[in-house]
């Protein structure tokens, strides 16, 4: 379907795209590039790319589809490097977890003769690097396309078909709406997990190993989320600042109301609140976004996080 596919960034997401594209026979040739020689060598050894290049421009030259699979904060610089090497008619896409700032960083560097179609697969794990990718990562997961206003329909359809070939389900959104939705479903939950693990870490110094020893599912899940890649998440918060702060403000207001109810012994308020949140959980299961299994639907302990 794609004669030449190029992946810039060969970590969890880039290597999973390569593996899934090979599984589905979606690309004639797959070329790749990563920043360090160590990752490039590992990619060659693992064999998910046909060719690994020393520079992003060399990898992208002549490609029909180029996907930026690097941290959000470097997408602009990578676009500036590959821009002059791109073939007319090529589709340039990305997998960044933030859209508005990424589009502003990337679009000015791309020539008019290529099609820029931003995308974000809602699939991931807390692991990074080329060894952590796997072909099934996108199976049954959403991939959100955020085409720019006035974008040609054909390249958007082609990218949609490519992601469907990788196993994903597709939705489309305005970039700003994407950033708000992801702030609620992924970015602020990560802030909360990072904070909770920080709080427990301070407490652990008081209570010795008890926090780890009696770590129940709730806290264990926080630690798993808080183990996510520091570079990726630093860039997410720096680039989705407004939506994250908006949702964090709302979160803080709710937290104060719960705090007050606990202080005042307002059991009715707490019971009503928790009954409502339980209904939301039921709705997520009914929508097929998770299962009622005790492991929260992840496959084994190292499986997918549907929220990233």
Interacting residue ranges for ligand NAP, rule: CB under 6 A: 8-14, 33-36, 39, 56, 69-72, 74, 78, 95-97, 121, 124, 128-129, 229, 232, 308
Closer residue to ligand NAP in complex, CB, 6/160: 6
DSSP 142: E
How far is CA 296 from each of CA 168, 191, 292, 301, rounded to the nearest angstrom? 20, 20, 6, 10
In the complex, minimum distance from the CB of residue 185 to ligand NAP, in angstroms, rounded to a whole number? 12
Long-range residue pairs from 250-257, CB within 8 A, at least 24 positions apart, any chain: 251/188, 251/192
In the complex, minimum distance from the CB of residue 286 to ligand NAP, in angstroms, rounded to a whole number? 25
Closer residue to ligand NAP in complex, CB, 35/169: 35
φ/ψ of residue 30, rounded to 5: -120, 120
In the complex, minimum distance from the CB of residue 44 to ligand NAP, in angstroms, rounded to a whole number? 13
Closer residue to ligand NAP in complex, CB, 95/145: 95
φ/ψ of residue 224, rounded to 5: -65, -45
The answer to whether 30 and 19 are in contact (CB under 8 A) is no
Closer residue to ligand NAP in complex, CB, 1/74: 74
In the complex, minimum distance from the CB of residue 7 to ligand NAP, in angstroms, rounded to a whole number? 9
The answer to whether 102 and 75 are in contact (CB under 8 A) is yes
User: Measuring CA to CA, which residue among 4, 15, 7 is closest to residue 48?
Assistant: 15
In the complex, minimum distance from the CB of residue 225 to ligand NAP, in angstroms, rounded to a whole number? 10
In the complex, minimum distance from the CB of residue 248 to ligand NAP, in angstroms, rounded to a whole number? 19
Q: Please tell me whether residue 232 adopts helix, strand or coil conformation.
A: helix
Closer residue to ligand NAP in complex, CB, 54/210: 54
Question: Residue 129: left if φ>0, alpha if ψ -120 to 50, beta else—which one?
Answer: left
User: Measuring CA to CA, which residue among 234, 233, 235, 211 is closest to residue 223?
Assistant: 211
DSSP 240: S
User: Measuring CA to CA, which residue among 238, 228, 158 is closest to residue 11?
Assistant: 228
Closer residue to ligand NAP in complex, CB, 211/247: 247
In the complex, minimum distance from the CB of residue 238 to ligand NAP, in angstroms, rounded to a whole number? 12
Closer residue to ligand NAP in complex, CB, 132/160: 132
């Amino acid at each position: 379907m794609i004669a030449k596919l190029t992946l810039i960034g060969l970590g969890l997401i880039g290597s999973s795209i390569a593996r899934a594209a090979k599984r589905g026979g979606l690309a004639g040739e797959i070329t790749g590039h990563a920043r360090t020689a160590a990752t490039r060598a590992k990619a060659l050894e693992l064999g998910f790319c046909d060719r690994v290049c020393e520079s992003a421009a060399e990898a992208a030259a002549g490609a029909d589809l180029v996907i930026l699979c690097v941290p959000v904060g470097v997408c602009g610089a990578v676009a500036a490097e590959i821009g002059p090497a791109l073939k007319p008619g090529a589709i340039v896409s990305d997998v960044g977890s933030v859209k508005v700032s990424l589009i502003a960083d990337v679009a000015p560097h791309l020539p008019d003769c290529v099609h820029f179609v931003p995308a974000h697969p809602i699939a991931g794990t807390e692991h990074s690097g080329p060894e952590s990718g796997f072909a099934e990562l996108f199976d049954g997961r959403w991939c959100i396309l955020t085409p720019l206003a006035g974008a040609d329909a054909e390249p958007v359809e082609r990218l949609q078909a490519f992601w469907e070939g990788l196993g994903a389900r597709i939705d489309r959104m305005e970039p700003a709406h994407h950033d708000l939705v992801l702030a609620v479903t992924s970015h602020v939950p990560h802030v909360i997990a990072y904070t909770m693990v920080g709080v427990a870490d301070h407490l652990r110094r008081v209570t010795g190993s008890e926090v780890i020893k009696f770590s129940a599912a709730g806290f264990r899940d926080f630690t798993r989320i808080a183990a996510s890649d520091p570079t990726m998440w630093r860039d997410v918060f720096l680039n989705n600042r407004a939506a994250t702060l908006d949702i964090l403000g709302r979160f803080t207001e709710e937290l104060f109301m719960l705090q007050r109810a606990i202080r005042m012994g307002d059991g009715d308020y707490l019971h009503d609140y928790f009954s409502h949140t339980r209904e939301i959980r039921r709705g997520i299961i009914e929508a097929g976004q998770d299962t009622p299994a005790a492991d929260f639907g992840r496959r084994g302990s190292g499986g997918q996080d549907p929220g990233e």
